[in-house]
Amino acid sequence: MSATLGTRRRAASLPLIALLTGGRAAAAPASSPSKGPSMTDTPAPRKSPFGDIAPALGDYTDNVLFGDVWKQPELSSRELQILRQMARGKSNKEIGQVLYISEYTVKNHVRSILKKLNAIGRTEAIAIASGRGLVNME
C-alpha cells in the first residue's frame, strides 16, 4: 500500500499536459517516469460535452434573456390616466386639456408608457393594456 501511495505522490508532483485526441481528452505527464503504466494508455472517461455548459447556459437564459421579459414596470397613476384617454382616441393636445397638463408633458408620458409596455406605437400600447386589463375597451 505504501508503494501505491509513493507512486501517487510522485505522479501528483509531475506537471500535466492536456492533449485532445479525437474528441477525447487525455492527460500525460510532462516527463513520464521510466517505469510504470503511462497515463495515455487509458482513455479518459467520456463526459457529456454539455456537462459544464448546461447549468451556465440555464442561468444565462433565465437571468439575461428572460429576466426583463417577465418583469413588467408598473405604470404611474398619471400614465394610466393618459393611457385611458388614449384608448378613447384622444390626441395629446386633447388629453392635455382634459388633465390640465401641457401637450409636451403628455408626449413625455406617452413615450414612457410605450417604453414600459414595450410597444411600438399608441395602438399597440392600447392593445397590450387592454390585454392586461388596464383599460376597458367598451
pLDDT at 57: 63
Tell me the backbone φ, ψ of residue 17, rounded to 5 degrees. Answer: -120, 125
Element (H, E) at 47: none
pLDDT at 107: 97
Measured CA distances, 132 to 21, 47, 56, 72 (Å): 56, 46, 33, 11
**Residue 119 corresponds to which cell in the numbers above?**
410597444
Residue whose entry in the numeric block shows the C-alpha cell 390616466: 81
Q: How many CB atoms lie within 10 A of CB 75?
A: 19
pLDDT at 22: 53
pTM value is 0.50
pLDDT at 99: 97
CA distance 128 to 132: 6
The answer to whether 15 and 30 are in contact (CB under 8 A) is: yes
pLDDT at 73: 79
For residue 82, give every residue at least 6 positions away whose Cβ sits within 8 Å of its Cβ, in sequence order, or none.
95, 99, 106, 109, 110, 113
CA distance 125 to 87: 9
For residue 34, give every residue at least 6 positions away whose Cβ sits within 8 Å of its Cβ, in sequence order, or none.
none
Sorted by where each starts, the structural domains of the chain and their CATH numbers stand as 1-43 (no CATH), 74-131 (1.10.10.10)
10-residue averages of pLDDT along the chain (138 residues): 53 51 52 56 62 64 59 87 96 97 97 96 95 86
Q: Which among 128, 104, 103 has a CA at the least distance from the CA of 114?
A: 128
